[in-house]
Amino acid sequence: MIHYPNIDPVIFQIGPLQVRWYGLMYVFGFAATLLLVNYQIKKSNLKEIAPHFENLNLIMIVSLILGARLGYVLFYNLPYYFKHPLETLATWQGGMSFHGGMLGLIAGAVIFCRIKRIDFWKVIDLYTVTAPIGLGLGRIGNFINGELYGRVTDVPWGMVFPGGGPFPRHPSQLYEAFLEGVVLFIVLWILKEKQRPPSSWPSGSIGALFLILYGIFRVLVEFFREPDAHIGFLFGSLTMGQLLSSLMIAVGIALLVVRRNQEASTRFSK
């Protein structure tokens, strides 16, 4: 068994104002996305997107945060927030859903791209290739908070988490940080090079691959992660995370097929 480091989630506090590691991870994730998206725009000379870069970033960040919070409320704890509606906005208490954040980001991108008449699929590829950085950092924040820990285990690297009972558990937050963060980022960053002409990978392919690979990694890690206590298992042994991630995989596969068929039809018509 490995000793849980028990890091104080609060970095420092001034009066009622707290600066927490979890929030700082979001800041680092947004900063990394901003830098890498800007780098891709300049490298690929995406002149139609460059003038909208700052406004696009703002829309994506706001859409992500709103979607993540509302997703948690709707997918994971709706009965509680029906009784306590004012706490829906209390993000400092925790409770952010990746799947909700993804839907919020897509919705924000669709609206912005239609208004500005820019290629939605190119925008999605630009941002999804950087998304694993924020995901990985967010899981480290979960680890520091001692939340979303794994199931009871006897593996040598098991940890006793505060609030998780007396038994060692899988540090599933670190599994997710590695797979959904490090591995997913490396794979997508390498694959995005395949979109360069004369590639048969059309815009939108990176977004589709993100859905597929994230979904696979999340389904696997959910076998080691403790289900939310107020939800438990669905249909016997399925978790909410596995259900939503399975839908992601299906949507990603369908999107990849549709986009490649559309690209093939466009080339044929030319």
Q: According to the model, what pLDDT value does residue 187 have?
A: 95
Q: According to the model, what pLDDT value does residue 86 have?
A: 75
Share of the chain above pLDDT 90, in %: 57
Above 60 in pLDDT, residue 206? yes
Contact present, 208 and 174 (Cβ < 8 Å) = no
User: What mean pLDDT is predicted for residues 120-139?
Assistant: 93
Q: How far is CA 177 from CA 172, 206, 229, in A?
A: 9, 20, 22
Residue with the bigger pLDDT between 177 and 196: it is 177
Measured CA angle at 66 (ends 61, 69), to 5 deg: 125
Above 60 in pLDDT, residue 198? no
DSSP-derived secondary structure for 214-245? HHHHHHHHTTTBPPPTTT--BTTTB-HHHHHH
What would the pLDDT profile of 152-164 be if each residue is shown by its tens digit?
A: 999 999 999 998 9
Above 60 in pLDDT, residue 268? no
CA-closest candidate to residue 18, choices 148, 145, 164: 145
Lowest mean pLDDT among 16-20, 37-41, 75-79, 197-201: 197-201
Distance (Å, whole) CA 34 – CA 36 = 6
Q: According to the model, what pLDDT value does residue 85 have?
A: 79
Q: According to the model, what pLDDT value does residue 97 have?
A: 81
Q: According to the model, what pLDDT value does residue 158 have?
A: 96
What would the pLDDT profile of 77-126 be if each residue is shown by its tens digit?
A: 777 788 777 777 766 566 778 888 888 999 999 999 999 999 999 999 99
Output phi, psi for 159, to 5 deg: -130, 150
What would the pLDDT profile of 34-46 be if each residue is shown by its tens digit?
A: 999 999 999 888 8
Label residue 267 by pLDDT band (50, 70, 90).
low
What would the pLDDT profile of 238-252 be if each residue is shown by its tens digit?
A: 898 899 899 999 999
What would the pLDDT profile of 157-195 be if each residue is shown by its tens digit?
A: 999 999 899 999 999 999 999 999 999 999 999 988 776
Domain ranges of the chain: 10-269
Label residue 29 by pLDDT band (50, 70, 90).
very high
Write the CB contacts of 97 (distance below 8 Å, at least 6 apart in sequence): 67, 68, 69, 71, 72, 75, 76
